[in-house]
Amino acid sequence: MSRVKLVFIHGFMGHASDWEEVRGMLRQVGYDSHAAELCPAEDWQESLQLLAHSIPSESILVGYSMGARLALGLSLDFAERFAGLVFISGNPGLETPEACKARWLADQRVANRLETECIEQFLESWYRQSVFAGVPSEVLQAEIQRKQKFERASWPQILRTNSVSRQPNYWERLRELKLPTLSIAGERDEKYRAIAKRVEHELHVSQCKIIPECGHIVHREQPQALVSAIEGFVEQLA
């Protein structure tokens, strides 16, 4: 096996098993990996500290959505511990107080709904958001079925703690990032495609990969294309 260690960080309402297919493909070509689990914490900084202490040194961080934002925070605050960053469908932060306030109120409503609604009803509504418009319906239905089986008691607290409105605005710090970085988004995910390209533009150590025929949930829609992108990035680091 390669000495390269890849550590995958899932998104909101995710689970370590989200990465099984991708990790299995990478295992076949010689890469070792680990999938972290998000745990409830008191605030954003404690979330970073819990993850930092659970991830082996010299790992390459691979994060999706909320997990991408946490991986970026780790790469900035604990840079000496890690070897690279793969930033998938993530947003470095909100850039105005007004945007933060609006998002915090929206995420509070989501957390409250998670605590009171039937989970099937909540998930059906969640995946009708515009950010998932480019995701094939069969992928969305599979996600709804999978997530109904997960333990969800911690989801409201994880959202309240790790809301993009609660984290620092990392756009202001991107030029501090020294780790080699690969930003990834789906071709059909207009908002995050633009963000991925902006991250590449802002960073001297960054590359960007737009995955064809793909929406927001890259690892579920196009796992082989994602594996190829990660493999190419790791080979360049070596």
Could you give all domains of the chain from N- to C-terminal order, each with its CATH number? 5-96+160-237 (3.40.50.1820)
- The pTM (predicted TM-score) of the whole model is 0.96
As beta bridge partners, residue 184 has 88, 209
At 17-67, the pLDDT tens digits run 999 999 999 999 999 999 999 989 999 999 999 999 999 989 999 999 999
CB 82 within 8 A of CB 134: no
48/102 Cα distance (integer angstroms): 24
Handedness of CA 132, 135, 141, 143 (dihedral sign): negative
Q: Phi/psi at 213 (nearest 5 deg)?
A: 50, 45
pLDDT of 237 reads: 87
Residue 2 confidence (pLDDT) above 80: no
Number of Cβ atoms within 10 Å of the Cβ of 102: 13
At 102-131, the pLDDT tens digits run 999 999 999 999 999 999 999 999 999 999
195/181 Cα distance (integer angstroms): 14
pLDDT band at residue 1 using 50, 70 and 90 as cut-offs: very low
221 vs 11, 82, 90, 132, 218, CA distance in Å? 15, 28, 16, 11, 5
Exposure b/e, 35-49, CB count within 10 A at least 16 = b: bbebebbeebeebbe
At 198-209, the pLDDT tens digits run 999 998 888 999
Secondary structure, 3-state, 161-211: HHCCCCCCCHHHHHHHCCCCEEEEEECCCHHHHHHHHHHHHHCCCEEEEEE
Number of Cβ atoms within 10 Å of the Cβ of 160: 18
CB 69 within 8 A of CB 92: yes
CB 82 within 8 A of CB 59: yes
122/31 Cα distance (integer angstroms): 37
Which among 16, 48, 50 has a CA at the least distance from the CA of 33? Answer: 16
